[in-house]
Structure 1
Amino acid sequence: MSTIRDVAKAAKVSVATVSRVLNNSDKVNEETKKRVLETIRELDYKPNEVARSLFRKQSNTIALIVPDIKNPFFPEVARAVEDVLNEKEFTLILCNSDEDPQKEQRYLDMMKQKYVDGVIIVTSTLQKKEIEKSDIPIIALDRQLGNSIPSVSVDNFNGAREAVRHLKSAGCRKIAHIRGPHGIVSADDRSDGYLHETAHEPWYCDDLIVSGNFNHVETFEAAIELMKRHPDLDGIFAGNDIMAAGAIKAAGTFGKKVPEELAVIGFDGIDLCRLTNPEITTMAQPIYELGATAAKLILELIEGKELAETHVLFDVTFSKGQSTKNVR
């Protein structure tokens, strides 16, 4: 394998000159630059990217920090981010944080040490001031982190309202909500949207809201308890599609038919919705657009551009599956 010294010797220049050519320095005349590049091709020399990163304090690398890679929503987002970055010859590093603020902080510190050029982060645990101290271009994805940090997210509150309104229009007379973890902005907003549509109803009571923690196993158990406490329950709004799948499984175990006896609607619009039986009705986020937009914004920040829009907010759209009744 050829080294930078081999290139310098063959091109009859110094190692420093080869390094300048590799880093597009304007201190090398065109004739020398051409000779060095031809030698690089002839020797099939591959530059040491770690060394180049140290020299330029750049790595053409973006980190994506997500809370749970097992949730299919995040791999779908990551695919979109990677597609955009590949076009610009950037590499993606995927990090799983488990909603652990210490783990997230370690990732941020490590990215700075390794000259990662920017970070796209999904977090509800790190404080804004901690993120700002990292001194790396950052885009918040899925959850806003205050006015000073650019973000890409969806209108969770009104999406949740529409989900509940759909269950009502489909004839549901007692609707429960299986929510995500408290303190996560998207989960809180979806829960608030549910309450906006139900708190005034004569059938509403506080124990119609249970936590599934964005997890299908916990949701299965929570949904069983819901149906035991409320045998007349005929609608469930799950805070994401994974929990909707857990609720549908629980209904089958409990002996309730979906959607004939219990209508279930989710939130996210992941591909899994089309693989369950019945297929899940959901409020679909524009997942690919979210990831692609976040990637484009982080590249603009790295280039020093002023963002035309600091906080990008997408609408969610109703996606009819088989887990809710036909609207009357």
Structure 2
Amino acid sequence: MASIRDVAKKANVAACTVSRVLNGSASVAEETRQRIEQAMKELNYIPNELARGMFKQRAGIVAMLVPSIRHPFFSSLADQIEKELYQQGYKMMLCSTGDDIAREREYMKTFRSNIVDGVIMGVSNLKDEEYEAFQKPLVMLDHKVNEEIPVVVSDHRTGGILAAQKFLEGGCRNIIHICGLDAPEVLSFQSHRALEEILSARGVQVKAVEIKWSNFDFDGYLELAKMILEKNPEIDGIMAADLPAVAFLKAARQIGRKVPETLCVVAYDGTYVVDTNLLDITTIVQPVKEIANRSIGVLVDLLEGRPAKPAMNMLEVSLREGNTTKSRIPS
């Protein structure tokens, strides 16, 4: 493989002149630049982009941290972010933490070097002061650190309200919602709080099942769903993220529960997973493409020295009607 010295020798220039061409310096004569570029072409020279980035204090790489690349929402979001970043001239480094605090902290420590220009955070297990001390542009997803670090989030409270309304319309009286561990600063949990608030006020029984969802694959969700339905035959409504929602539908078929006659299911996220089921699933849809575009827009502003305004970026969710909930019942 050709080196920068090989290019310099073939072009009859010093290696530092080749470096200036690679780094976009305007101090190289046009004739010399053309000679160097021709030498690189003939030698099939591939520049070391990381080394160039360290020299320029800019790597052209944005990192995205997610709890699990298997999670449909984060895999869908990462796909959109990668496509948009590429259009903006950046490459993406996707890192999965397994929702483990030590791995998240280790990644953040690595990112403080010149390996990335900025980070989009889809995890938030560290203390807020650790994010505040991070010395590079940072955009949080679903987690508010302070009034300065920008956050991009769906309107989860509205999502919870929309789900509650569907259960009320279907006459449901015993609801279970599958959620992660509650934390005040995790904004996605607002959907669960809103669901409980509205249904409880109407006398509906509501129970949260808190799980560390990153430990579950589809088979794990299926076993959980069967256990919940078998031990709680009175349950007539389920709200869960796309993958466990589909698992509940399969479990219901296996134990003879009819959907939506005896069990209403509302999925939350609206990824490709809900399209794989035989039934059209009633779904609260997060605007994945808009989340990706807004996150990148905010981060690019920070990278180019512009303030992120507003710091709080809340995007609308929507309800997609399906066949897993009942139509409005007479009041």
Superposition TM-score, scaled by structure 2 size = 0.89
Answer yes or no: is 1:167 the counterpart of 2:171. no
Summarize deviations over 1:255-301 as a string: whole Å, max 9, x none.
21111211100110011101113232110001122123212322221
Residue 212 of structure 1 deviates from its aligned partner by 4.3
* Alignment partner of 1:313 is 2:294: no
Distance across 2 between alignment mates of 1:195 and 1:171: 16
Q: Deviations over 1:214-257 (max 9, x none)?
A: 3455654554454456433322222x112212222332233211
**Alignment length (residue pairs):** 325
CA distance in 2, matches of 1:45, 1:300: 33
**Which SS does the other structure have where 2:153 is aligned?**
strand
CA distance in 1, matches of 2:83, 2:188: 28
Q: Within 1, Cα distance between the matches of 2:296 and 2:283? A: 26
Contact 2:169 2:326 in 1 (8 A): no
- Which residue in 2 is equivalent to 1:54? 54
2:327 maps to: 326
Change (3 A) 1:306 1:203: closer
- Check whether the contact 2:181–2:211 (CA below 8 A) recurs between aligned residues: yes
AA paired with 1:33?
R
Structure 2 counterpart of 1:277: 278
Please give the alpha-carbon distance, in whole angstroms, between the structure 1 residues aligned to 2:143 and 2:150.
Answer: 10
Partner of 1:231: 233
The answer to whether the 8 A contact 2:112-2:134 is kept is yes
Give unpaired runs (5+ residues) of structure 1: none
Q: Classify 1:26/1:173 alpha carbon distance in 2 versus 1 (closer, same or farther; 3 Å).
A: same
Q: Structure 1, residues 157-201: CA drift from partner, whole Å, max 9, x if none? A: 121111110121133233332222233724521220111211223
Contact 2:131 2:145 in 1 (8 A): no
Q: Is the 8 A contact 1:211 1:222 kept in 2?
A: no
| Corresponding position: 1:195 with 2:200 | no
The structure-2 alpha-carbon separation of the partners of 1:41 and 1:229, relative to structure 1 and needing over 3 Å to count, comes to closer
Match of 1:139 in 2: 139
Contact 1:180 1:187 (8 Å CA) reproduced: no
Instruction: Find the aligned partners of 2:204 and 2:323 in 1 and give their Cα distance.
Output: 25
Could you say which residue in structure 2 is the equivalent of 1:177?
177
**Cα distance in 1, alignment partners of residues 202 and 322 from structure 2:** 26
Secondary structure of 2:260's partner?
Answer: coil
Q: What does residue 158 of structure 1 align with?
A: 158
The alignment-based identity, stated in percent, is: 33
In 2, the alpha carbon distance for the partners of 1:319 and 1:212 equals 26
One-letter amino acid of the counterpart of residue 322, structure 2: G
Paired with 1:62 and 1:249, the residues of 2 have a C-alpha distance of 38
Tell me, which stretches of 5 or more residues in structure 2 are unaligned? none
- Report the residue type matching 1:15 in the other structure: A
Letter of the 2:110 counterpart: M
The SS at the match of 1:28 is coil
1:203 and 1:83, CA in 2 relative to 1: closer, same or farther beyond 3 A? closer
CA contact (8 A) 1:212 1:222 kept: no
Secondary structure, in 3 states, of the residue corresponding to 1:116? coil
Q: Please give the alpha-carbon distance, in whole angstroms, between the structure 2 residues aligned to 1:249 and 1:221.
A: 10
User: The residue matched to 1:171 in structure 2 has which SS?
Assistant: coil
The separation in 2 between residues aligned to 1:126 and 1:152, in whole angstroms, is 18
- Give the secondary-structure state (helix, strand or coil) at the position aligned to 1:278: coil
Correspondence list, 1:1-328, <5 A: 1-183=1-183, 185-204=186-205, 208-214=207-213, 215=216, 216=218, 219-224=221-226, 226-228=228-230, 230-238=232-240, 240-328=241-329
Offset of residue 41 of structure 1: 2.9
Instruction: Tell me, in whole angstroms, the C-alpha distance in 2 between the residues paired with 1:57 and 1:236.
Output: 50
Offset at 1:64? 0.7
Q: Which amino acid is the alignment partner of residue 237 of structure 2?
A: G
Tell me the distance in 1 between the aligned counterparts of 2:71 and 2:203: 35
Structure 1, 186-195 or 29-38: larger mean CA deviation: 29-38
Note if contact 1:73-1:268 (Cα within 8 Å) is conserved in structure 2: yes
TM-superposed deviation, 1:154: 0.4
Hey, what's the Cα distance between the residues in 2 that align with 1:3 and 1:218? 51
Distance 2:60 2:298 in 1: 15
